[in-house]
A and B are shown apart, each in its own frame.
Chain A
Amino acid sequence: MRYDSLLDSVGNTPLVGLPHLSPSADVRLWAKLEDRNPTGSVKDRAALAMIEAAEADGTLSPGDTILEPTSGNTGISLAMACKVKGYRLICVMPENASGERVQILRMWGAEIISSPAAGGSNEAVRVARELAAQNDHWVMLYQYGNPANALAHYRGTGPEILADLPTVTHFVAGLGTTGTLMGAGRFLREHVPGIQIVAAEPRYGELVYGLRNIDEGFVPELYDPTILTTRFSVGPRDAVRRTRELLELEGIFAGISTGAILHAALNCASKAVTAGERADIAFIVCDGGWKYLSTGAYEGTLDEAEDALDGQLWA
């Protein structure tokens, strides 16, 4: 397939069947390989869409500085797009994000400001907001509240899945900014009666939840719970186990967050089998496993991997 530039090649990713993990001929799993995007993650879609929306409405002009709270993939996608388009990028990320991510961001020219590990991305969001308030010429695209994030999936991911799998019954994706689920979920609900939109949310170690007051929690502005039918919380043990199964049984080398999503997808599959219903379950492979090798998720026993991931932002 030929494209005019790297940015033009974002999206249109393959949807591949999983013959070994699917429980039967009537209940099938399909992986949407978002790691095939230019920087290797689903975030290329949202990053490009947010930049183009800001260019279109005049918020962003060549040479401007973009500031974004991101624990990795969004930053990497923005860094690539900023390099190609000529913007300066500053990423605010929790200090416990994996080492590979920091190196990759710097490689693409991004500058990094660390936020405290305790509190996870909540803290990165808070620090980024403070910096944006002090530097009013910096542009914060703010993936948690930017409609262009969800729109990228409403216009891209959702229609692509429906075109490749008209019999789709379930769509399963990760719940972070909520952009993928809100956008693709809304599109699929409009076009597929009775479709189930299922969220997989990573459950971290205690350090990440910290000692924050329960009234100071965070729900992304994009989040609309009426789009979802089910929301699963998936801990590191199940996420790692499924990540390894995906590699072992289907040959797909994915990041740990994808394991969490697969865990939710398999739960939907077993419910369909129990109910005696047919199902075509499409789920998102967010990225490849390369950036997470140093987390310890791919080696040793499940117990060791679980211990190694405690306190890390593994998704």
Chain B
Amino acid sequence: MSIEVRIPTILRPYTGDAKTVEASGDSLTAVIDDLETRHPGLRERLLDEGGSLRRFVNIYIDDEDVRFMGGLQAPVSDGASITILPAVAGGSADLG
């Protein structure tokens, strides 16, 4: 199965500057493990020493935050789009 993963600028040194990379796996953990085989070092930037998602890293599966979908156990379906983003204040202060 094929999943598209969008990589933020700050992590592109690990993907040879690619904005998006392909991955496979039926859960977020499996996808991150798969990414690590081709892009070594990426996992350590996403997960802390205890294996949890880092505080300032947000990951979305089809635009939904994985922290509300079971975290690293979140299911991933074929054709899904995963987006990795650093947490920022954004200009979104105006939203509320």
Q: Which residues of A contact B (CB under 8 A)?
A: 41-43, 46, 69-74, 94, 97, 119-122, 124-125, 143-144, 153, 173-181, 199-204, 206, 208-220, 225, 228-235, 255, 257, 260-261, 284, 286-287, 313-315
Contacts and interface: CB of A to CB of B under 8 A. Distances in A.
Contacts of B64: 230-233
Contacts, number: 163
Given A203-B85, A231-B67, A212 B10 contact: yes
Given A203-B85, A214-B57, A217-B86, A315 B95 contact: yes
16 contacts: A69-B93, A174-B92, A176-B90, A201-B90, A202-B91, A212-B86, A214-B8, A214-B11, A216-B56, A217-B56, A219-B55, A229-B68, A231-B64, A232-B64, A232-B65, A287-B94
A232 B96 contact: no
Given A71-B94, A209-B8, A286-B95, 13 more contacts: A71-B93, A97-B91, A174-B94, A179-B96, A201-B90, A209-B86, A212-B88, A214-B57, A225-B68, A231-B64, A233-B65, A313-B90, A313-B91
Given A216-B56, A218-B56, A232-B64, A176 B93 contact: yes
B45 interface: yes
Interface string B54-78: 1111101001110110000000000
A142 to B, nearest CB: 11
B89 interface: yes
A173 B67 contact: no
Contact of B89 (A122, A153, A200, A255): A122
B63 A286 contact: no
B1 interface: no
A125 B92 CA distance: 13
B54 A177 contact: no
A201 B92 CA distance: 7
B15 interface: no
Contacts of A173: 95-96
Contacts of B58: 233
Contact of A120 (B10, B90, B96): B90
Nearest to A238: B63
A181 B65 CA distance: 16
B9 interface: yes
A204 to B, nearest CB: 6
B84 to A, nearest CB: 9
Interface centre among B63, B68, B83 (most CB of A within 10 A): B63
A201 B63 CA distance: 10
B95 A215 contact: no
Contacts of A41: 94
Interface string B22-61: 0000000000000000000000010000000011111010
Nearest to A182: B96
A163 to B, nearest CB: 19
Given A143-B93, A173-B96, A233 B83 contact: yes
Contacts of A43: 94, 96
Contacts of B86: 209, 212, 214, 217
Contacts of B89: 120-122, 124-125, 144, 176, 218, 220
A119 B10 CA distance: 12
Contacts of A179: 96
